[in-house]
Amino acid sequence: MADERGSLLQMNKETEDVAQLRSFTSYLRWVYVDQSNLFKAGLSWSVFFSLAYVVPILSHVMLDCSKTTCDADHSRPYHVPVQISLSVFATISFLSLSDWDRRYGFRKFLFLDKVCDESIKIQRGYSHQMQRTMKLILLWGLPCFVAECAYKIWWYVSGNSQIPHYGNPYMSSIILSTLELCSWLYRTSIFFLVCVLFRLICYLQLLRLEDFAQVFQRETEVELILMEHLRIRKNLRIISHRFRGFILASLILVTASQLSFLLVATKPHADVDVLKAGELALVSITLVSGLFILLRGATKITHKAQSITGLCAKWHICATINSFENVDGETTTASQVVSRQATAATCGSSDDEVGDEEDELDNTKMLPIFTHTISFQRRQALVSYMENNKGGVTMFGFMLDRTWLHSIFAIQLALCLWLLNKTIGV
């Protein structure tokens, strides 16, 4: 009876997880992109074109406030570069989502067709992470949206007598400001969506790597370890191939946007303050945050995949030392006791050993069960293979590791801080 009850609870949990995954993919299709049929594809493209191009163009033309009509604070001299940057990033994000949906479908793209073959731990962890996806978009995008709302409210309220109106002044301001905010929210959220989806897919591979690390605690054949590692490397190559264009485009466009903002803000006789150029700083923070999500997800999984090599070498040397100690077990000398104590301290982690999430694979306990079941030559061959086939996320052959993250983020942060210094005096 207890087994039946446990099986029933597990089936209910799996059914709930499947329902959550389906609702997530449905949300992606209806809110952002859906090309399942001609009507939905036309609707999706119409919404994108309207919010990404029509609304910004109409806003710039209809709310053009010349110096003879408006004061200096309401002239919006940097409105064009801000709108161009947001529209460009929304375009590459929407085109990427459309291409992925058309070629793979969201279920295959998010590896949902293969999650069912994983362990219950991986399924539940991936399902929980998918639930957090929209929360992460709100966490990163909501502060910027609140700042944009505050700026728009100030601009429309303080310049009510100067801003062009069409019909009723109050209704005109409400409608135009709502359209502008919807356009801003759509363009930034779709960019954050692609970044968070990349982070979500990387998280699935992190779960697989953590589960794969446990094979060094069980009695498993080298062939099975090799096949599992090859499967993980294949998934990492698939992720790299699908996202390499978007990552490279984001890196180039973020850098170009930062440089263009700086050229505009530092040109001679440029009138720069927080009221006129606040949107430049806001967009700069938004774009750098999205790029940071991409690079952090890539470097985190690369670091975790490469740490497997060190774990395999540690497993090999622990098994080798243990096998030599057991060759002649008739007499136990003091040196052998010290050697065994050192081996135990090295190959097994103590209970009070605490490490962060990046180094948790280093704390995996090495059990001496492979001493006689797997030969030295096979273990050495496995270590050599992993040393020469380190996994990770690549971009056209370049491994996205922590060195790349530190270098790229330092450049972007320097540009962003320089822009903040020129705009709001930070």
For 259-315, how does the pLDDT look when each residue is reduced to its tens digit (9 = 90+)?
A: 887 777 777 666 666 667 778 878 888 888 888 888 888 888 888 888 888 888 888
Q: Rounded CA gap, 87 and 81, in Å? A: 10
The residue-averaged pLDDT of 83-99 equals 91
Tokens at 281, concatenated: 């700083």
In this predicted structure, what is the pLDDT of residue 21?
Answer: 60
Nearest 5°: the CA angle 107, 108, 111 is 90
Residue count (the chain): 426
pLDDT per residue as tens digits for the range 236-247: 889 989 998 999
Written as one string, the DSSP assignment of 369-418 is: GGTTTS-HHHHHHHHHHHHHS----EETTEE--HHHHHHHHHHHHHHHHH
Q: Is residue 248 part of a domain?
A: yes
CA distance 283 to 148: 10
List the alpha helices (DSSP H) in 169-221.
169-213
pTM above 0.75, yes or no: yes
How many CA atoms are closer than 13 Å to the CA of 325, on its beta-carbon side?
21
Give whole-number Cα distances, 278 to 73, 79, 192, 254, 266, in Å: 11, 10, 21, 18, 14
Asked, for residue 174, whether it belongs to a domain, the answer is yes
Q: Beta strand 394-395 with 398-399: parallel, antiparallel or unpaired?
A: antiparallel
Rounded CA-CA distance 85/170 in Å is 29
- Asked, for residue 348, whether it belongs to a domain, the answer is no
Q: Would you say residue 29 has pLDDT above 80?
A: no
Residue 134: per-residue pLDDT: 73
Residue 17's pLDDT band, with cuts at 50, 70 and 90, is low
Residue 330 inside a domain? The answer is no
pLDDT at residue number 325: 52
**More confident: 396 or 182:** 182
User: Which structural domain range is residue 112 located in?
Assistant: 33-314+391-423
Give me 234's structure tokens: 């294949």
Instruction: Tell me what the mean pLDDT of segment 41-51 comes to.
Output: 88
Q: Coil, strand or helix: which one is 272?
A: coil
The model's confidence at residue 88, banded by pLDDT at 50, 70 and 90, is very high
Which CA distances in Å does 300 have to 115, 123, 294, 405? 21, 20, 10, 10
Q: What is the pLDDT of residues 128-145, one digit of tens each?
A: 888 777 777 777 778 888
* 250, part of any domain: yes
What's the domain count of the chain? 1
Q: Identify the sign of the CA torsion 401, 127, 231, 239.
A: negative
pLDDT band at 251 (very low <50, low <70, confident <90, very high): confident
Question: Mean per-residue pLDDT for 396-404?
Answer: 75
For the stretch 139-185, pLDDT in tens is: 777 888 888 888 888 877 776 666 777 777 778 888 888 898 999 98
Q: Which of 88, 57, 104 is nearest to 191 (CA)?
A: 88
Mean pLDDT over 357-379 rounds to 58
- Residue 372 counted as domain residue: no
CB 207 within 8 A of CB 121: yes
Task: Provide the 8-state DSSP code for 77.
Answer: T
List C-alpha distances in Å: 340 to 216, 317, 325, 363, 373.
19, 13, 8, 18, 20
- The pair phi, psi for residue 279, each rounded to 5°, is -65, -30
Is a pLDDT exceeding 80 seen at residue 74? no
Q: Identify which of 98, 90, 92, 123 has the alpha carbon closest to the alpha carbon of residue 21.
A: 123
Q: Return the closest-CA partner of residue 157 out of 179, 173, 175, 176.
A: 173
When mean pLDDT is compared across 41-50, 241-250, 392-401, the lowest value belongs to 392-401
Q: What's the pLDDT score for residue 339?
A: 46
Q: Say how many C-beta atoms besides its own lie within 10 A of residue 8's C-beta.
A: 10
- Backbone phi, psi, residue 395, to 5°: -130, 100
The answer to the question of residue 319 being in a domain is no
Residue 258 confidence (pLDDT): 80
Instruction: Quote the mean pLDDT of the chain.
Output: 75
What token pair was written down for 44? 């999706």
- The label of the residue with tokens 């029933």 reads 8
Mean pLDDT score, 56-76: 72
Structure tokens that stand for 277 in this block: 């150029």
pLDDT score for 40: 78
What mean pLDDT do residues 374-384 have? 79
Question: How many Å apart are CA 124 and CA 17, to the nearest integer?
Answer: 7
DSSP 111: T
CA dihedral 408, 202, 186, 40 (to 10 degrees): 140
Is 6 domain-assigned? no
Q: What are phi and psi of 351, to 5 degrees?
A: -70, -30
Q: What percent of the chain lies above the pLDDT cut of 70?
A: 72
Structure confidence at residue 270 (pLDDT): 65
CB proximity list for 127: less than 8 A, separation 6 or greater: 17, 20, 21
